[in-house]
């Protein structure tokens, strides 16, 4: 319970959307590919992934590498081996079914109409091939014929298989109470043990029965006989009662397979598995074994009064200790973390700005552990200009027999820019130290100015160097 609370604390609404959205995408993929071999391969890959995670958790390095390799190869195999199946699924679905369509409930096949139609075809010796698919799709096995959206009726069956009709060759496919396709080409069986009177029509029926769970009815043109093919069985039908019985059995399976309750249960379980899977993946990334990192992040100031300038801050960057799952922490960069301090309430002078949690923007899944320092001192002031005299900062001592007679500075004043408060107390700018010890004659020395405090600046374009022209003379010898 405690672990659950730990896991869910700090869960943002974006995280919930993240989990739900990806679960829905996974669920839609399931709905799109269910009943095909692709979904079985994807499930196998999912199992491998769980194994791989377990191996990583247990520290089985080579095993986890090996499984990773198998997963990569399996993903490639799916695309290559099942490319036709994938293409066929994508082609046969419309836009709606990709995103929100719920699979339609199978409408019950009207068995009596088929029985009547088939026996009428047999009586008239009209060859016919009728397919009643069950749960597995047959799109990938047959060569699709001509789409035919027509309500199933005895007359419709007779007219489709009438010799004069252009679509009488091939098979008619019935789904629910609709004939959905005619002139479909079925795969021929390669069996060698078939009776000699089984020509290509029968072979095609056997071929489809072998490769799917569909039931196929054949009306022989030559013999006027009805045969039903299902799985590996060929059932010779002697009368319409027998045919009704076989069809009802198949229709019962179809209803059970596509019954609303069963379908709702299957989709409900699939939805729960998708949600659980994505939640597991999300938590393993976002809340996996916790790791720590310390980042030095530069501070950005915002909402400053435009009449004030920042003349100094106690630090320009802040050290943040962050925690999160190992994989997230490993990939984090300092430019993904931002610290924005609000100076809207700051006034001229020294301001203490606390570094609040809200002013730190972190990537999703990363938590803040520690901030150092927790407060910044920011000195704001109105910038002003001031012209100040320059003083040479002599150091050391001239030789005893020499006197510094004159020193001229070029220029002898300088324009500086700084905060108004600070400049109030500054009356002179000093040069860097000029040693007297080595001076023996007059001359010129080029020196730089010392700008103290560091927020003090020279006016734009001014050079931080001046010339000091000095003269020395010999001290008159003491009169004896
Ligand atoms: N692969 C196929 N898929 C769908 N229909 C096929 C296929 N091959 C043949 N047919 C259908 O079977 C007809 C040919 O039947 P054929 O006489 O060769 O078979 P049969 O098994 O002897 O049947 P019948 O007893 O009716 O003569 C074709 O005109 C066509 O309508």
Residue 343's domain is classified under what CATH number? 2.170.120.30
Q: Are residues 166 and 203 in the same domain?
A: yes
pLDDT at 97: 65
- Report the separation in Å between the CA atom of 201 and the middle of ligand 1, taken as the mean of its atom positions: 3
What residue owns the CA closest to ligand 1's atom 10? 201
- Report the separation in Å between the CA atom of 240 and the middle of ligand 1, taken as the mean of its atom positions: 23
What residue owns the CA closest to ligand 1's atom 22? 199
Q: Are residues 277 and 295 in the same domain?
A: no
Q: Are residues 122 and 214 in the same domain?
A: yes
- Report the separation in Å between the CA atom of 202 and the middle of ligand 1, taken as the mean of its atom positions: 7
Q: Are residues 177 and 246 in the same domain?
A: yes
Digit-coded pLDDT (tens) for 141-188: 888 788 888 888 999 999 999 988 888 899 999 988 889 899 999 999
Task: Give how many domains the chain has, as a whole number.
Answer: 4
- Euclidean distance between CA atoms 252 and 331, whole angstroms: 56
Q: Are residues 79 and 132 in the same domain?
A: no
Percent residues over pLDDT 70 in the chain: 89
- Report the separation in Å between the CA atom of 204 and the middle of ligand 1, taken as the mean of its atom positions: 7
Least confident of 273-277, 325-329, 446-450: 325-329
Indicate the pairing of strand 367-372 with strand 317-325: antiparallel
Q: Domain for residue 105, yes or no?
A: no
Q: Domain for residue 267, yes or no?
A: yes
Digit-coded pLDDT (tens) for 350-390: 999 999 999 999 887 788 999 999 999 998 999 999 999 99
Who contacts 159 (Cβ-Cβ below 8 Å, separation ≥6)?
165
Q: Domain for residue 479, yes or no?
A: no
> Which CATH number is 433's domain given?
2.170.120.40
Q: Average pLDDT, whole number, for the chain?
A: 85
Pocket of ligand 1 (CB under 6 A): 127, 129, 169-171, 185-186, 188, 198-202, 204, 220-223
> Which CATH number is 142's domain given?
3.40.1700.10
Q: Give the Å distances, CA to CA, from 25 to 33, 46, 228, 276, 305.
A: 12, 15, 40, 13, 48
Q: Domain for residue 131, yes or no?
A: yes
Domain, as residue range, for 326: 290-381
Burial class (CB in 10 A: 0-12, 13-18, 19+), 45: middle
Digit-coded pLDDT (tens) for 29-77: 888 777 666 777 788 888 888 888 888 778 788 888 888 888 888 888 8
Q: Identify which of 171, 201, 216 to mutate to test ligand 1's pocket (most ligand atoms within 8 A of the CB).
A: 201
Assign 108 a pLDDT band (cuts: 50, 70, 90). low
Q: Are residues 197 and 243 in the same domain?
A: yes
The pTM is what? 0.45
Assign 217 a pLDDT band (cuts: 50, 70, 90). very high
What residue owns the CA closest to ligand 1's atom 4? 170
- Report the separation in Å between the CA atom of 112 and the middle of ligand 1, taken as the mean of its atom positions: 25
Q: Are residues 155 and 245 in the same domain?
A: yes
- Report the separation in Å between the CA atom of 200 and the middle of ligand 1, taken as the mean of its atom positions: 4
Q: Domain for residue 5, yes or no?
A: no
Q: Are residues 283 and 317 in the same domain?
A: no
Reported ipTM: the value is 0.96
Q: Identify which of 144, 200, 205, 222 to mutate to test ligand 1's pocket (most ligand atoms within 8 A of the CB).
A: 200
Q: Are residues 325 and 367 in the same domain?
A: yes
């Amino acid at each position: 319970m405690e672990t659950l609370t730990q896991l869910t604390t700090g869960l943002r609404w974006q995280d919930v959307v993240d989990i739900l959205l990806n679960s829905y995408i996974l669920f839609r993929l399931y709905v799109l590919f269910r009943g095909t071999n692709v979904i079985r391969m994807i499930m196998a890959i999912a199992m491998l992934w769980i194994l791989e995670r377990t191996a990583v958790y247990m520290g089985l390095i080579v095993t986890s590498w090996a499984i990773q390799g198998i997963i990569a190869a399996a993903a490639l195999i799916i695309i290559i081996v099942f490319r036709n199946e994938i293409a066929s699924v994508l082609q046969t679905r419309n836009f709606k079914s990709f995103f929100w369509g719920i699979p339609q409930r199978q409408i019950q096949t009207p068995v009596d109409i088929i029985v009547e139609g088939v026996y009428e075809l047999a009586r008239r010796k009209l060859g016919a091939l009728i397919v009643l698919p069950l749960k597995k799709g047959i799109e990938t096995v047959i060569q699709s014929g001509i789409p035919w959206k027509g309500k199933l009726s005895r007359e419709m069956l007779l007219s489709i298989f009438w010799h004069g009709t252009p679509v009488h060759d091939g098979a008619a496919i019935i789904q629910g109470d609709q004939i959905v396709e005619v002139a479909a080409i079925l795969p021929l069986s390669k069996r060698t043990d078939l009776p000699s009177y089984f020509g290509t029509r029968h072979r095609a029926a056997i071929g489809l029965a072998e490769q799917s769970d569909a039931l196929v009815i054949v009306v022989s043109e030559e013999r006027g006989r009805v045969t039903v093919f299902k799985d590996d069985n060929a059932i010779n039908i002697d009368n319409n009662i027998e045919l009704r019985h076989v069809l009802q059995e198949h229709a019962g399976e179809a209803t059970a397979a596509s019954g609303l309750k069963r379908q709702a249960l299957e989709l409900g379980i699939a939805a729960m598995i998708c949600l659980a899977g994505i939640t597991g993946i999300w938590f393993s990334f976002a809340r996996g074994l916790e790791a720590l990192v310390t980042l030095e992040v530069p501070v950005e100031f915002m909402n400053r009064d435009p009449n004030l300038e920042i003349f100094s801050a106690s630090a320009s960057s802040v050290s943040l200790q962050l925690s999160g799952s190992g994989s997230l922490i490993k990939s984090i960069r300092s430019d993904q973390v931002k610290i924005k301090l609000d100076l809207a309430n700051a006034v001229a002078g020294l301001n203490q700005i606390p570094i609040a949690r809200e002013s730190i923007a972190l990537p999703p899944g990363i938590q803040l552990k520690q901030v150092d320092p927790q407060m910044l001192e920011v000195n704001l002031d109105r910038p002003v200009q001031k012209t100040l005299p320059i003083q040479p900062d002599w150091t050391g001592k001239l030789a005893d027999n020499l006197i510094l007679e004159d020193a001229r500075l070029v220029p002898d004043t300088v324009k500086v820019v700084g905060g108004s408060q600070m400049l109030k107390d500054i009356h002179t700018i000093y040069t860097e130290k000029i040693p007297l010890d080595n001076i023996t004659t007059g001359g010129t020395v080029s020196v730089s100015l010392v700008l103290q405090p560091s927020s003090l600046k020279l006016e734009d374009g001014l050079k931080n160097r001046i010339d000091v022209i000095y003269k020395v003379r010999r001290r008159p010898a003491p009169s004896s």
